[in-house]
Amino acid sequence: MNKTALYNKHVSLGAKIVPFAGFEMPVQYSGVTEEHFAVREKVGIFDVSHMGQFYVEGASAKDLLQYVTSNNVENLENGKAQYSCLPNGNGGIVDDLIVYKIEDEKYFVVVNASNIEKDWNHISAYNEKFGAKMTNVSEETSLIAIQGPKATETLQKLTETNLSEIPYYHFTVGSVAGVENVIISNTGYTGSGGFEIYFKNEFAEKLWDELTVAGEEFGLIPCGLAARDTLRLEKGFCLYGNDIDDTTSPLEAGLGWITKFDKEFVDKEFLLKQKEEGISRKLVGFEMQEKAIPRHDYLVVDAEGNEIGKVTSGTMSPMKKIGVGLAYVAAPHYKLGSEIFIQIRNKNIPAKVVKLPFV
């Protein structure tokens, strides 16, 4: 199993360590609920150094990314980031990712930990035609997420960069706690605001400690993968391997907003046809109407008990204190307000299709 540069720090803090995407990762420290509320109301710090990072450079870098990703890279300006996905050539999704434009002819791509090799091979195969320079810096790069309403105040103590001048999904390269060449990005996976910082592994413990001290007055606590999951689910954010994969199209997953047809890209014809003909199933958010917790792979049925879908993610929402989830549901049951039923231990528990996010 791989370990991040902060592994020993997590152990010393008493984190519960679990295997995740080939890494030994902290799943929780003080408890999922406490960590969840810290991020919603104050500030939390996450080690997400297991994520993958590639540089794509050269005169053909933009053309390569424009072709392999679903979003329109032409809309990126220097210092801007873009959420996107990699269509797989068969109507599914290789991965979802973030593309950062560092400067003309230089892009930074962040991918999911479980898909680093898969994504690299996928992009490289198309790059044989384009000839961009690709560099995999995943093993030498650490990533810390500072998330929550007090995240900006916490990080601002450690940098001269004016964080208030970095809009959502924008970034800059600056100094943090004396560490140079840090990518400071107004992005995150919690829906509570904050920043993600990318830097060399050797500075990981220093930056973790400095951030911990800086956030002390705001109630900062370390947070694990479990809280990261409940936080993203309350906001309806997709998790690769659960809500999207090689069998789900971006349109079915509600990712039409990152699928731009004003350019040529992998699967354009397939997805355009799917858009014109309409989708037969859709990823929707639902709330349980009785006390019950939906889980991954639970069946979704209609009032007569006929199978109409499957739960992809589910949890007890710490904020709403009810069971919530995401599920692929067949037409016409995926319409807002539809009554569906989640099969839990041979019982069909009523649920309602609702608009995302949940909170």
Going residue by residue through the chain (359 aa), what tens digit of pLDDT does each one get?
Answer: 999 999 999 999 999 999 999 999 999 999 999 999 999 999 999 999 999 999 999 999 999 999 999 999 999 999 999 999 999 999 999 999 999 999 999 999 999 999 999 999 999 999 999 999 999 999 999 999 999 999 999 999 999 999 999 999 999 999 999 999 999 999 999 999 999 999 999 999 999 999 999 999 999 999 999 999 999 999 999 999 999 999 999 999 999 999 999 999 999 999 999 999 999 999 999 999 999 999 999 999 999 999 999 999 999 999 999 999 999 999 999 999 999 999 999 999 999 999 999 99
Reported in sequence order, the residue ranges of 64-204 that DSSP labels E, i.e. its strands, are 81-87, 93-103, 106-111, 133-136, 141-147, 171-176, 179-185, 194-200
What phi-psi label fits residue 252: left (phi over 0), alpha (psi between -120 and 50 degrees) or beta? alpha
Compute the distance between CA of residue 64 and CA of residue 103 in angstroms, rounded to an integer: 16
Torsion sign (Cα): 288, 327, 187, 210: positive
pTM higher than 0.85: yes
CA 272 to chain centre: 25
